């Protein structure tokens, strides 16, 4: 009996030793980069400050990607089997080209995990309380003081610190393609529709006729008549009474642009009511105009557009820093704020206008009114 107990103890100890050595081996950078698809990531890492710096302190793969506590380490090792599975079984990332194709998806998984873990792998080395802000640049000291006050996750601002950033536009651009497919499937049959992009406005049902204005992205219209691929719609918005009356806005006194109108479309303008903006004493008119548009890229719900814009905002503005909540600025304030950041992102004019419309409709003084 004693012999069996001793054998059992021996097997247990041997098992513990084997697991320990296995963890130790699997936690080495050489092991992490042994797959050929990791070679590019390894080369990127070697160019980073985590590999070589003035202090001579190196962060290995495990320091960033594996929690120091045993439960967290075990969970990460078990989760890593998905990478092995996708490398050898599904062949999803078994070449550098395939890995690059999925870089955004893979990076997002890591960022999400770091965020959920409160960036504890980062904070095992970087401690807010240990920072001497006097030795930091003024910009860094200001940013880190604010981050410490909120106990922010490091990954909110420091994406791409050890590896190249993926193409952040890839995700939301695919989402937009999905919206276009959804709009095509719907066939613009609803009475209330919303524009995915800019739409030409016509005075007649001839799409080859003279353009008499523009319907801007994420704008609501009411369908009055259908004729083939053309829709006669009513556009409702606000105009400054003393202005030229060409730019319609979503709200009185707020530069949330909905449409531009001129010519015959402007001529059929109907004034619904007048109001004075108490903040500026400027008189505004709530008006409605009728125009024809093509039915392409019109969807029956605004929320999918906001979801797409929210994804665009997260991908574009979170790449460099923690993006402020949409409610941080007023609708008018977002115009200058987004313009100030425009040199740091690459969006088309339509994408930028959709993003601005989303932020304005969820601003401090609109209260998410555009979310319906």
Same-domain check for residues 223 and 279: yes
**How far is residue 232 CA from its own chain's centroid?**
34
Domain boundary residue among 281, 299, 317? 299
Other C-beta atoms within 10 Å of 349: how many? 10
Q: What span, in angstroms and rounded, lies between the C-alpha atoms of 75 and 252?
A: 54
Which H or E run contains 153?
A: none
Residue 162 maps to a domain: no
The answer to whether 40 and 9 are in contact (CB under 8 A) is no
Judge whether residue 169 has pLDDT over 70.
no
Show the domain range for 197.
Answer: 186-299
What percentage of the chain's residues is helix, strand, coil (to nearest 5)? Answer: 50, 20, 35
278-312 pLDDT per residue, tens: 989 999 999 999 999 999 999 999 999 999 999 99
The answer to whether 284 and 276 are in contact (CB under 8 A) is yes
Does 65 show up as a binding residue in the annotation?
Answer: yes
The beta strands (E) that lie in the chain are given as: 192-195, 199-202, 211-215, 220-227, 230-240, 247-251, 254-261, 270-276, 283-294, 298-299
Domain boundary residue among 78, 95, 123? 123
Does 321 show up as a binding residue in the annotation?
Answer: yes
CATH number at residue 323: 1.10.760
- Cβ burial of 187 (10 Å; 0-12, 13-18, 19+) is exposed
Q: What span, in angstroms and rounded, lies between the C-alpha atoms of 64 and 113?
A: 11
Does 372 show up as a binding residue in the annotation?
Answer: no
pLDDT band at residue 79, thresholds of 50, 70 and 90? confident
Does 362 show up as a binding residue in the annotation?
Answer: no
Residue 133 maps to a domain: no
For residue 138, give both structure tokens.
Answer: 């003024």
Same-domain check for residues 203 and 281: yes
The answer to whether 193 and 223 are in contact (CB under 8 A) is yes
Does 25 show up as a binding residue in the annotation?
Answer: no
Does 87 show up as a binding residue in the annotation?
Answer: no
Angle between helices 103-116 and 169-186 (to 10 degrees): 110
8-23 pLDDT per residue, tens: 777 877 767 666 666 6
Does 61 show up as a binding residue in the annotation?
Answer: yes
- Give the whole-number percent of the chain exceeding pLDDT 70: 93
Same-domain check for residues 246 and 317: no
* Predicted local confidence at residue 372, as pLDDT: 40
Residue 264 maps to a domain: yes
- Higher-pLDDT residue of 8 and 202 is 202
* Predicted local confidence at residue 295, as pLDDT: 97
Question: Phi and psi at residue 105, in whole multiples of 5°?
Answer: -60, -45
Number of compact structural domains in the chain = 3
Residue 335 maps to a domain: yes
Q: What span, in angstroms and rounded, lies between the C-alpha atoms of 286 and 304?
A: 27
99-138 pLDDT per residue, tens: 888 888 888 888 888 888 888 899 889 999 899 988 889 8
Mean pLDDT is highest, among 58-72, 92-106, 265-279, for: 265-279
Task: Find, among 370, 364, 305, the residue nearest to 333 by Cα.
Answer: 364
Same-domain check for residues 235 and 260: yes
- Higher-pLDDT residue of 43 and 285 is 285
CA distances from 54 to 49, 50, 133 (A): 9, 10, 18
Same-domain check for residues 285 and 223: yes
Task: Find, among 192, 133, 164, 179, the residue nearest to 309 by Cα.
Answer: 179
**What are the residue ranges of helices labelled H in 117-168?**
120-123, 138-150
């Amino acid at each position: 009996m004693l012999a069996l107990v001793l054998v059992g103890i021996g097997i247990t100890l041997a098992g513990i030793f084997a697991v320990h050595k296995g963890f130790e081996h699997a936690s080495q950078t050489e092991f992490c980069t042994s797959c050929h698809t990791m070679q590019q990531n390894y080369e990127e890492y070697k160019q980073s400050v985590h590999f070589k710096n003035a202090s001579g302190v190196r962060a290995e793969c495990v320091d960033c990607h594996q929690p120091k506590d045993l439960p967290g380490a075990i969970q990460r090792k078990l989760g890593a089997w998905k990478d092995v599975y996708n490398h050898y079984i599904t062949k999803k990332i078994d070449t550098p080209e395939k890995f690059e194709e999925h870089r955004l998806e893979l990076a997002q998984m890591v960022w999400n995990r770091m965020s959920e873990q409160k960036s504890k792998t980062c904070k095992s080395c970087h401690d807010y309380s240990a920072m001497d802000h006097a030795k930091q640049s003024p910009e860094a000291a200001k940013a880190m003081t604010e981050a410490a006050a909120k106990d922010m996750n490091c990954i909110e601002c420091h994406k791409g610190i050890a590896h190249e950033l993926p193409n952040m536009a890839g995700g939301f651009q695919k989402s937009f393609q999905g919206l276009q497919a959804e709009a095509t499937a719907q066939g613009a049959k609803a009475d209330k529709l919303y524009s995915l992009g800019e739409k030409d406005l016509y005075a007649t049902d001839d799409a080859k006729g003279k353009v008499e204005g523009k319907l801007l992205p994420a704008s609501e219209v009411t369908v009055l008549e259908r004729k083939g691929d053309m829709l006669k719609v009513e556009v409702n918005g606000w105009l400054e009474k003393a202005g030229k009356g060409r730019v319609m806005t979503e709200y009185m006194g707020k530069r949330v642009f909905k449409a531009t109108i001129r010519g015959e479309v402007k001529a059929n303008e109907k004034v619904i009511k007048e109001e004075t903006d108490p903040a500026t004493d400027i008189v505004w008119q709530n008006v409605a105009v009728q125009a024809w548009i093509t039915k392409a890229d019109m969807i029956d719900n605004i929320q999918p557009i906001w979801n797409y814009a929210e994804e665009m905002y997260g991908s574009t503005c979170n790449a460099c820093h923690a993006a402020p909540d949409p409610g941080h600025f007023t609708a008018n304030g977002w115009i200058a704020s987004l313009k100030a950041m425009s040199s740091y992102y690459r969006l088309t004019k339509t994408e930028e206008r959709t993003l601005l419309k989303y932020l304005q409709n969820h601003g401090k003084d609109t209260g998410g009114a555009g979310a319906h």
